[in-house]
Amino acid sequence: MSSPSVPATASSLQKTALNLTHRQCGAKMVDFGGWDMPVEYAGLIAEHMAVRTRVGLFDVSHMGEIQLRGPEALDAVQFVSMNDASKLAEGQAHYSALLTPQGTFVDDILVYKLSPNDYLLVVNAGTRPKDYASIKQHAQRFHCHVSDYSDHYSQLAIQGPQALATLQKLTRVNLDAIRNYWFVWGQVCGVHNVLISRTGYTGEDGFEIYIPSDEATTTRVWQEILDAGREFDIVPCGLGARNTLRLEASMPLYGHEITEETNVFETGLDRFCKLDKPEFLGQEALKKLQEAGGPRRKLVGMEMIERGIGRDGYPICTLAGEQIGVVTSGSPAPFLKKNIALGYVPPAHSALDTELAIKIRGQDVRARIVAQPFYRRPKKRA
């Protein structure tokens, strides 16, 4: 996911099948990586709290879907992505990333194993063209076909404690049997061959459904989900709440925590990077970095001690006033009722409980490094 920029007015922006529905519902629209997308409906805080305590519905149809199919599809996926796709079972997904030869991020992705010779890569909207070009270029050495099916799918995300109960009304598939980061095919709202996955980008339990992208089908399914969730006070949610939810859960955002200037070790995502698997893009650079002593900065979570919000791009300083880093994401955390931020600092300043200062409009405002994630959803009771 990449971050929103300015209010959407240009007719040249790309639109999902729900664009008219969003506007008719009074959503505030923004230019989100070249897409005309809803940033909020009734309000960011209300939408955030609905997902944490009940259920919310997101249109994430701007995301890209790139399929690799053929006898060497696995070899291609292994080469272009950092996680070990050979460990995936059919019907399983995992978090991964496309890397540059320097070991920095082209994009973070999800990899779905559809069959032994068929993989689906879900990519961010703003990076979809470069992702597709990069994958297609590097997959040429393998016997497989690369296709961009992004325009064929609408993707809807149902997130929150009541997500399962809401979606279960609309399908005969036993949703409770789908484990985290697994998926099945089934019928939803009378639509056949729907991919139903259990991943999410909010820190809550939830499901994504991939349905045909025509306006009639997408609009009908959207409304049927809202109708099914009415008893749980479901709300449609914009990308503003999606951003604050993922920040509370310490999930990285492309263009902020991960960029073509940040490497895997700095982000703390090296647990998803399997350096001992066969050759992949960025592998040699990362091994050399590891041998040289590791990264020179580290992503940390910060909680404001004094009043103030550490916004994206604000300097991070020592209490003596020396700038040592920069905030990558920061906002109020509606559920936690705190002001939180992520940012990069040198390893020597990254210990838990270290006090730092974030420079806000020229003033040093104290913050403390805290454990991540900021929010972890309660375990399901037996």
CA distance 82 to 100: 10
How far CA 236 is from CA of 26, 28, 183, in Å, comes to: 11, 12, 23
pLDDT, the chain, mean: 96
- Is 336 a residue whose pLDDT tops 70? yes
- Helices 128-138 and 73-80 sit at what angle, rounded to 10 degrees? 120
- Is 6 a residue whose pLDDT tops 80? no
CA distance 210 to 202: 18
- Is 5 a residue whose pLDDT tops 80? no
The DSSP line for 68-83 is EESTTHHHHHHHHBSS
- pLDDT at position 9, please? 52
CA distance 297 to 341: 16
- pLDDT at position 8, please? 47
Q: Where are the beta strands (DSSP E) in 17-75?
A: 28-32, 35-40, 56-59, 64-69
Q: Which of 5-9, 35-39, 148-152, 164-168 has the lowest mean pLDDT?
A: 5-9
For the chain, give the percent of residues with pLDDT over 70: 97
pLDDT in tens, 216-235: 999 999 999 999 999 999 99
Degrees to nearest 5, angle at CA 361 with 359 and 365: 40
pLDDT in tens, 262-295: 999 999 999 999 999 999 999 999 999 999 999 9
DSSP 8-state class, residue 296: S
- pLDDT at position 380, please? 72
The DSSP line for 186-247 is EEETTEEEEEEE---SSSS-EEEEEEE--HHHHHHHHHHHHHHTGGGT-EEE-HHHHHHHHH
Instruction: Give the type of residue at 356.
Output: L
